[in-house]
Amino acid sequence: MDYSLISFKILGDERGYLVALEGNESIPFDISSIRYINSSDGGKIPGSCARNRLQQAVICISGSCDFILDNGKKRHIVHLDNPAQALYTSNNLWCEISNLSSDGVIMILADKLYNNDDYIHDYNEFMDTVASQKNI
């Protein structure tokens, strides 16, 4: 499964700490877009999708959440609760956010500008895409 955890260098002292996020340094790609998701009163959490051509680093900068990752064969759950750590994911991986705490804020650094046409929002369509890629 194409994902990894990235730990960032923490700088600071007794006044607090600083984490520098730098493209092609602490983040393994050029950063073209920054997005964020926070918990909603309605209980619905956006983010169940796959992308065709996108790298991203996901950081839970406040609170905690779980990311369910699915490559069409296996599912893994990654718990995020450390703002000095990111979940790196690449193409063709179904991602779902769950258990976002009421104080949760997720920041997403991406290597491309947001393009809704690159996203697959339907799990069955994702599975069809995975199956068709095996036949190529």
Mean pLDDT calculated for residue range 35-64: 83
Q: How crowded is the C-beta side of 65, counted as CA atoms within 13 Å?
A: 29
What's the pLDDT at 88? 96
Encode pLDDT of 53-112 as tens digits. 889 999 999 999 999 999 999 999 999 999 999 999 988 899 999 999 999 999 999 999
Do 49 and 82 contact (CB within 8 A), yes or no? no
Distance CA 54, CA 74 (A): 20
pLDDT digits (tens, 9 = 90+) for 119-134: 899 999 999 988 887 6
Domain ranges of the chain: 3-134
- What fold, for 3-134? Jelly Rolls (2.60.120)
